[in-house]
Amino acid sequence: MKKAIVILSALMLVAISCKQTLKKQVEATSNKILSEQEDNHSTVQKKYNNNPIEDRGKNFRQIGLNEKIGSRTLKDYLADEKIPQIFKDVFLQKQPLNDDVKTLALIDSLLSTDKERHPFYFVLVTHAMWWSDGAFSEPLGMAAKEYVESNTQQFLEYFSAESVLTKFDFEQWASYTLGEILIESEDDTKEQIEKTKNLMKKNCIGCSSEKIEMIDKFIGYMNVEYDKLE
Predicted pLDDT at 47: 41
Where along the chain do its domains lie?
A: 1-48, 52-229
Average pLDDT estimate for 187-210? 96
Predicted pLDDT at 128: 94
| Count of residues in the chain | 230
Residue 207 has pLDDT above 80, yes or no: yes
Predicted pLDDT at 56: 53
Instruction: Please state, in angstroms and rounded to a whole number, the distance separating the CA atoms of residues 69 and 121.
Output: 10
Neighbours of 181 (CB within 10 A): 22
Predicted pLDDT at 103: 83
Are the C-beta atoms of residues 182 and 49 closer than 8 Å to each other? no
Residue 221 has pLDDT above 90, yes or no: yes
Q: pLDDT per residue over 42-99, tens digit each?
A: 444 444 444 433 445 679 999 999 999 999 999 999 999 999 999 999 999 998 887 7
Candidate from 12-16, 65-69, 121-125, 145-149 with smallest mean pLDDT: 12-16
Instruction: Please state, in angstroms and rounded to a whole number, the distance separating the CA atoms of residues 178 and 173.
Output: 9
Q: pLDDT per residue over 167-198, tens digit each?
A: 999 999 999 999 999 999 878 999 999 999 99
Predicted pLDDT at 230: 76
Instruction: Please state, in angstroms and rounded to a whole number, the distance separating the CA atoms of residues 5 and 3.
Output: 5
For 163, the 3-state DSSP assignment is coil
Averaged pLDDT score across all residues of the chain: 81
Predicted pLDDT at 57: 62
Predicted pLDDT at 32: 43
Closest by Cα among 148, 40, 143, 155 to 97: 143
Predicted pLDDT at 135: 81
Q: pLDDT per residue over 127-136, tens digit each?
A: 999 988 778 8
- CA 183-132-103 angle, to 5 degrees, is 105
Are the C-beta atoms of residues 140 and 128 closer than 8 Å to each other? yes
Average pLDDT estimate for 37-45? 41
Of 134 and 152, the structure prediction assigns the larger pLDDT to 152
Q: Is the backbone of residue 60 left (phi > 0), alpha (psi -120 to 50) or beta?
A: beta
Q: What is the pTM of this model?
A: 0.76
